[in-house]
Chains A and B, each alone.
Chain A
Amino acid sequence: MIESKGELQRTPLYDLHREYGAKLAPFAGYEMPVQYPGGILSEHTHTRGAAGLFDVSHMGQVTLTGAAAAAGLETLMPVDVVDLGVGRQRYALLTNARGGILDDLMVTNLGDRLFLVVNAACKAADIAHLQANLPADCTLEVLADRALLALQGPAAASVLARLAPETATQAFMSAAEVVIEGAACLVSRSGYSGEDGYEISMPAEATEAIARRLLAEDEVAPIGLGARDSLRLEAGLCLYGADLDEETTPVEARLVWALSKARRADGARPGGYPGEAVILGQLADGAPRRRIGLRPEGRAPVRGGSELVDETGRSVGSVTSGGFGPSVGGPVAMGYVETALAGEGAVVNALVRGKAQAMQVTRLPFVKPNYYRG
């Protein structure tokens, strides 16, 4: 589906992005829109007030088929896949032997197959990992001929209902096969913005028509990766490679809610995934550091990569994501600190251009989520 320009790949909407005046930049091997002429602040605010259309076709879409697929996937993650209901979607983590996270992804049970959406930057590694570790009678197929669009915002439901009425009442974290503009799509009610919305998988050749149809609706504007990042940061959602990596456990990352009950020590199918000893140990005894929200005191953003120190100058952690929160109206950040300092209201200092910038530990998310509750 994708042509190459030198080393960078393009999604089916490359021409449309150019037409809409996007500033394109390399991202995970793709030429992607960072913003359109209105700018990141306006795109962010628009999504929270109306509906934003995101091209996320760079992400990996994979199916697993075979009777042993669910059990096989469970050997790679501390998540309940075996009892994931048909039409249901779940946030999942692939772990390594140190209890660290190889990637975060969405797993959907489509009845005759499992459907996975993985991060673009981890696509090749995830596929290799799955292929090397899944049972022989489980077949992995990379859906290289499909695109992925996200429609997010309070108006997303009423907009999509004009194209496919049944999506209006689709439950949060559920998926359904839906025909949109004559194309066989897979629609899940989920996203990465903190707002109600959908992610739509479609045949590559149908993408432009569906995108144009959605953009023709008054409420919908095209949104780039810049605003996608500020939206998810305000929503307290992790970005793999920034807030999550192979040295970070789900317990440290405050993703314990994603560790299914069935896979815990007292669950129906305890353990049996890489790093279980580390993760179970941290669940029992606590983790040395925790992911936290941070509000800089003042207006200057504090970016990912900044070191955090206490009042004596001792290093206590680091900022992993940071920027400006348009809906919050000020700078926001996420990072990790020693557990003792991870309480709401604790003050730590970030080193910004050599100077100490005070930051207050806050709860996540920064904005209240608006997920569909039926």
Chain B
Amino acid sequence: MSGIKFSEDHEWIRVEGDSGAVGLTDYAQEQLGDIVFVELPEVGKQLAKGDEAAVIESVKAASELYAIVGGEVTEVNEGLGDDPAQVNSDPLGGGWFFKIKIGDAGELDGLMDEAAYKAFTASLE
């Protein structure tokens, strides 16, 4: 999948022009277990890289999704309200969290491509 980048916090961003769709990786959803609720940011919210952007409630505990890059939230995945389990079943597809208008494209440079992220998660085992 070209155009997709990953963070060490197990988030991904799929860049299209000056925007990107953001979500949790398959590794992250597997660690979290069954997801029962997602609290998404408001459309229009300004996020700095590293800000807490969303809250994910799994059966056992709450975790955060951090802003993989800074920017403005332009759209959120309303479908996660009715079916948060999509984060588990389709983390890179239907389980997307929100779209962000990227503030500083330079912030993408520090992210990993798919191969690098795969190696990273392998090193965590």
Residues of A bordering B, CB below 8 Å: 34-35, 39-42, 226, 230, 299-301, 303, 323-324, 326, 331, 353
Q: Name the A residues within 8 Å of B39 (CB-CB).
A: 300
Which one of A35, A41, A226, A331 has the highest number of Cβ atoms from chain B below 10 Å of its Cβ? A41
B33 close to chain A: CB less than 8 A:
yes
B34 close to chain A: CB less than 8 A:
yes
B57 touches A35 (CB 8 A): no
Q: Pick 5 A–B contacts, CB within 8 A, sort by A.
A: A39-B33, A300-B39, A300-B57, A324-B57, A331-B37
B37 touches A323 (CB 8 A): no
Which of A35, A42, A226, A299 is B36 in contact with, Cβ under 8 Å?
A299
CB distance from A25 to the nearest CB of B (A): 10
B55 close to chain A: CB less than 8 A:
yes
Which of A42, A299, A323, A326 is B60 in contact with, Cβ under 8 Å?
A323
B81 touches A226 (CB 8 A): no
Which one of B55, B59, B61, B62 has the highest number of Cβ atoms from chain A below 10 Å of its Cβ? B59
Query: What DSSP secondary structure best describes chain A's contact surface?
Result: mixed
B36 touches A324 (CB 8 A): yes
CB distance from B80 to the nearest CB of A (A): 10
A226 touches B59 (CB 8 A): yes
Chain B 62-101, CB-CB to A under 8 Å as 1, else 0, gives 1000000000000000000100100010000000000000
Which of A40, A41, A230, A300 is B37 in contact with, Cβ under 8 Å?
A300
Q: Name the B residues within 8 Å of A300 (CB-CB).
A: 37, 39, 57
In the assembly, what is the distance between CA of A254 and CA of B20, in Å? 53
> What is the size category of the interface that chain B forms with chain A?
10 to 19
B37 touches A39 (CB 8 A): no
Q: A299-B81, A301-B57 are in contact. Are A39 and B34 (CB under 8 A)?
A: yes
Q: Name the A residues within 8 Å of B88 (CB-CB).
A: 39
Q: Name the B residues within 8 Å of A353 (CB-CB).
A: 55
In the assembly, what is the distance between CA of A41 and CA of B36, in Å? 9
Residue of B nearest to A329 (CB): B36
Q: A35-B33, A324-B36 are in contact. Are A41 and B57 (CB under 8 A)?
A: no
In the assembly, what is the distance between CA of A303 and CA of B61, in Å? 8
Supplied contacts A39-B88, A300-B37, A301-B57, 6 more A-B pairs, CB within 8 Å? A40-B59, A230-B59, A299-B37, A299-B84, A303-B62, A324-B36
Q: Name the B residues within 8 Å of A40 (CB-CB).
A: 33-34, 59-60
Q: Name the B residues within 8 Å of A230 (CB-CB).
A: 59
B36 touches A331 (CB 8 A): yes
In the assembly, what is the distance between CA of A237 and CA of B34, in Å? 23
Q: Name the A residues within 8 Å of B57 (CB-CB).
A: 300-301, 324
A226 touches B55 (CB 8 A): no
CB distance from B30 to the nearest CB of A (A): 9
Chain B residues 37 to 68 lying within 8 A of chain A, measured CB to CB, are 37, 39, 55, 57, 59-62
A41 touches B81 (CB 8 A): no
Q: Name the B residues within 8 Å of A39 (CB-CB).
A: 33-34, 59, 88
B55 touches A301 (CB 8 A): no
Residue of B nearest to A227 (CB): B59
CB distance from B116 to the nearest CB of A (A): 26
Residue of A nearest to B36 (CB): A324
In the assembly, what is the distance between CA of A34 and CA of B37, in Å? 20
Q: Name the A residues within 8 Å of B34 (CB-CB).
A: 39-42, 324
A301 touches B33 (CB 8 A): no
In the assembly, what is the distance between CA of A331 and CA of B81, in Å? 14
In the assembly, what is the distance between CA of A324 and CA of B57, in Å? 9
B59 touches A323 (CB 8 A): yes
Residue of A nearest to B60 (CB): A226
Q: A40-B34, A41-B34 are in contact. Are A324 and B55 (CB under 8 A)?
A: no
Residue of B nearest to A35 (CB): B33
In the assembly, what is the distance between CA of A353 and CA of B62, in Å? 10
Residue of A nearest to B31 (CB): A23
List the 3 closest pairs (A to B, CB-CB), nearest first. Answer: A324-B36, A41-B34, A40-B59
In the assembly, what is the distance between CA of A303 and CA of B62, in Å? 9
A324 touches B62 (CB 8 A): no
In the assembly, what is the distance between CA of A303 and CA of B57, in Å? 10
In the assembly, what is the distance between CA of A300 and CA of B33, in Å? 16
In the assembly, what is the distance between CA of A35 and CA of B84, in Å? 20
A41 touches B55 (CB 8 A): no
In the assembly, what is the distance between CA of A30 and CA of B59, in Å? 22
Residue of B nearest to A34 (CB): B60
CB distance from B54 to the nearest CB of A (A): 12
Q: Name the A residues within 8 Å of B61 (CB-CB).
A: 303
In the assembly, what is the distance between CA of A301 and CA of B84, in Å? 13
